[in-house]
Structure 1
Amino acid sequence: MDESSLEERPQDSAPAKVRLDKAAPAASDPALRASDADRDGVADILREALAEGRLTAEEHSERIGAVYRARTVGELAPLVRDLPAGRRPEAVPAAVRPPDASTRPAMGAAENLIAVFGGATRKGRWRVGARTNAFALFGGAEIDLTEAVFAQREVVINAYVLFGGVDIRVPENVTVRSAGAGVFGGFDVRTNEAADPDAPVVVVTGFAVFGGVSAKARRGKRLKNLRAGD
């Protein structure tokens, strides 16, 4: 009886080990549930593609919506498969990781501008980071870049409005692109492609609900040094 029990023990333990192995899917498994970091990574790739002119504003908006509806990495991968960053072999998982720190500008901490039942303003001589978040609730926010110092070539302004407004002014020789939408409100971004290829790129994204976001070049105001960081 004891001998038969000893003979059966290896057989009993083997299936248990197999079941444990099968319970851990590979990182490249398209059925793997996507994390917030995975979605944000794909959103970064799409934002960079918009800034480079690889995607139109309509294509970017459509894909961004699909990013935040995606539940698995398999749903994320096709959204960047036709973009250079999405084809990198080192991208993980399922070719959806954003470019590494050596191939993309450092994002740094975002600057926040909040106007709730009041106003908020950022203007004059100030150093613009990679991201600026503006939120207006029953109030107004003003972002004036006409005298700002651009720390890097690409700047993203995320504007979110609910019963309020965000007004953005940029130098007339800077590229301006839009990736936002208005819902019972307006998202009026006057896009502009600067003649100088070294000009900074300002991408305005977000949404306006019962309010408005506006961005346009201020005539007569020009950025003197177009090379970021100089």
Structure 2
Amino acid sequence: MDESSREKRSPVKLEKTAPAEAALRASDADRDRTADILREALGEGRITAEEHAERVGAVYEARTVGELEPLIRDLPLPDRPAPAAVTRPYDASVRPGGEPAENLIAVFGGATRKGRWRVPRRTNAFALFGGVEIDLTEAVFEQREIVINATAIFGGVEIKVPENVTLRSTGTGIFGGFEVKVSEAPDEGAPVVTVMGFAIFGGVEAKPKRGKRLRNLRARA
């Protein structure tokens, strides 16, 4: 066994994560921080696009902190504080925060979410040689701020929102397109949908659907 192999298998980093901590349920923030480390590693050439796709898929399927640690064990960790929460309850009387994110995964296939459905505070969309469609035009918004974390690798993610909803973007295209038709709703109380993530040899598209409007900005199912 060569020296580099021994370094990768070294138990030193594992000792930093106590068994009790490893068994903790992973939060959306934990998954997002892990995905950010993988994205930076891809941009720096530390891992290939194939390795990145495999690991990111595992990130959003991980249930515990211990399942996330091996995915970045061989990568340098950035020395920065955890990002602040970007969402707040739209109507605290409807439902408390902390509900789990919804994961839509399309690998050599498709995944669709549309019709009358309750939009969670966070939705993770992952497309690898496949397509994900998210239609919010008939959805029920129970939070004012919604985050959609979209990752498209040799695939596509399409997002449709009502015309009177604010649409924002913090995504990036790497040999791909990340096209979000940013718009601000005239009503200050309108829901805000932020699309984040990245596209590699793929595409993420988000835009308002003409003729579709939320009739009640505080609609409840």
Bucket of the pairwise TM-score, normalised by the shorter protein: 0.5 to 0.7
CA RMSD of aligned residues (A): 3.1
1:76 aligns with 2:84: no
1:145 aligns with 2:160: no
Map of 1:224 onto structure 2: 215
Q: Tell me by how many angstroms 1:97 deviates.
A: 7.2
Q: Is the 8 A contact 2:109 2:130 kept in 1?
A: yes
> In structure 1, what is the Cα distance between the partners aligned to 2:112 and 2:84?
35
Identify which of 151, 159, 173 aligns with 1:168: 159
Q: Is the 8 A contact 2:166 2:193 kept in 1?
A: yes
Q: 1:77-226 maps to which residues of 2 (within 5 A)? A: 106-226=97-217
Q: Tell me by how many angstroms 1:70 deviates.
A: 3.3
Residue identity matched to 1:180: G
Question: Cα deviations across residues 116-168 of structure 1 (Å, max 9, x unaligned)?
Answer: 10111100111101011100000001000000001211110000111000000
Structure 1 stretches of 4+ moved >3 Å: 96-99
**Alpha carbons of structure 1 residues 97 and 213: separation in structure 2 relative to 1, 3 Å:** closer
Q: Structure 1: where are the runs of 5+ without partners?
A: 1-36, 45-67, 78-95
Q: Tell me by how many angstroms 1:229 deviates.
A: 4.7
SS at match of 1:76: coil
Question: % of aligned pairs identical?
Answer: 65
> In structure 1, what is the Cα distance between the partners aligned to 2:175 and 2:98?
32
> In structure 2, what is the Cα distance between the partners aligned to 1:170 and 1:126?
13
Q: 1:27-66 maps to which residues of 2 (within 5 A)? A: 40=29
Q: Is the 8 A contact 1:107 1:131 kept in 2?
A: no
Give 1 or 2 for the bigger CA radius of gyration. 1
Question: Cα deviations across residues 164-207 of structure 1 (Å, max 9, x unaligned)?
Answer: 00000000000000011010000000001000001000000001
Residue identity matched to 1:151: E
> In structure 2, what is the Cα distance between the partners aligned to 1:194 and 1:207?
24
> In structure 1, what is the Cα distance between the partners aligned to 2:84 and 2:171?
24
TM-score w.r.t. the length of structure 1 is 0.57
Q: Structure 2: where are the runs of 5+ without partners?
A: 1-25, 34-75
